[in-house]
Amino acid sequence: MNLTTFLLALFDGVSYAALVFIVALGLTLIFGVMRILNVAHGSLYAIGAYATVSLVGWVLALGAAPILAFPLMIVSAILVGVLIGGPVEYLLLRRIYDKPEVLQLLVTFAVFMILEDVQRLVWGTQPYFEAQALRALGNVTVFGVTYTVYQLILLPLVALTLLVGLRFFLRRTVTGKLITATTEDREAAQSIGIDADRVFLLTFVMGAILAGLGGALASPTTSILPGMGADMIVLSFAVVATAGLGQIEGAAIAALMIGMGRSFAIYIWPEVAVLVPYLIMVLVLLVRPEGLFGSPAARKI
């Protein structure tokens, strides 16, 4: 492997890890606080991507500057989180918090299936491609390897900002403290007057926005087509499980491991590339069933 291929694999890995991390962050936040593994998270990712492509396509067709694609990504993510995530929590999940985990998993899986069909109804089955945002930022050349600024700099920067921001939010703000307190003991939280229902709704919408944002940011780098949500939920679950459920910093490390493992495999042994993330997960879980950073019954978030 020469330097050029090494750098290409490295850059692929970093940009891919950043995207997966953003989605996994939402998944692990929701799990950490609400103890629900939300399979529909994958659909929110896909719908975030579709919504961005539609919105950006529409606005740019009106003659707007390509740079406008960026605020539209944020708008799409928020729309997905509030308009889909909000009702899913409020109308559905709220009723099943005290039910067995199997049932919770089945309900979120059902939501996932429904949303997959909704995507086909709204956007059809032909792939979409909308890379204006990617082109708007241009390229950068590092040691002779030319890569897009969007993937090499913007995506990792956004991922890092979200990691630091979420950490800060949970540890240093009043709302963050109320969320971690409710995570620790829902009844105690209610007995001091915390509106636990609102805490859960807020957390779920935040997690859903992260899924939507992952999709929005992924949209210029890939074809948007049916099945992308399923791929992403499996992959981000692998990241979250490898890290330890509810582990936020751990998810960043696990995303890097899995992203790098996959991208280097593509150059070295392409036949197994798609398997690599799951091989990493299985190896880690065989040695540490609670994940790299999880402990059997310690901090939840």
Q: Which is nearer to another protein, 201 or 266 (CB)?
A: 201
Q: Cβ of residue 131: shortest distance to another protein, in angstroms? A: 34
CA angle, residues 144, 145, 150, in degrees to nearest 5: 135
Contacting residues toward another protein, per CB under 8 A: 169, 172-178, 180-181, 184-185, 187-196, 198-199, 202, 299
CB 74 within 8 A of CB 213: yes
What are the CB-based long-range contacts (under 8 Å, 24+) for 161-169? 162/22, 162/25, 162/210, 163/21, 163/25, 163/248, 163/249, 163/252, 166/25, 166/29, 166/248, 167/248, 167/249
Q: Cβ of residue 233: shortest distance to another protein, in angstroms? A: 27
Considering only CA atoms, which of 193, 213, 202, 200 is closest in space to residue 77?
Answer: 213
Q: Which is nearer to another protein, 37 or 178 (CB)?
A: 178
Q: Cβ of residue 201: shortest distance to another protein, in angstroms? A: 10
* Burial bucket for residue 197 (CB in 10 Å: 0-12, 13-18, 19+): middle
Q: Which is nearer to another protein, 144 or 193 (CB)?
A: 193
Q: Cβ of residue 160: shortest distance to another protein, in angstroms? A: 19
Distance CA 32, CA 35 (A): 6
Q: Cβ of residue 175: shortest distance to another protein, in angstroms? A: 4
Q: Which is nearer to another protein, 135 or 171 (CB)?
A: 171
Q: Cβ of residue 126: shortest distance to another protein, in angstroms? A: 40
Q: Cβ of residue 289: shortest distance to another protein, in angstroms? A: 23
Q: Which is nearer to another protein, 60 or 82 (CB)?
A: 82
Q: Which is nearer to another protein, 178 or 260 (CB)?
A: 178
- Identity of the residue numbered 247: Q
Q: Which is nearer to another protein, 277 or 294 (CB)?
A: 294
- Residues 6 or more apart whose CB falls under 8 angstroms from that of 288 comprise 294
* Burial bucket for residue 298 (CB in 10 Å: 0-12, 13-18, 19+): exposed
Distance CA 267, CA 99 (A): 46
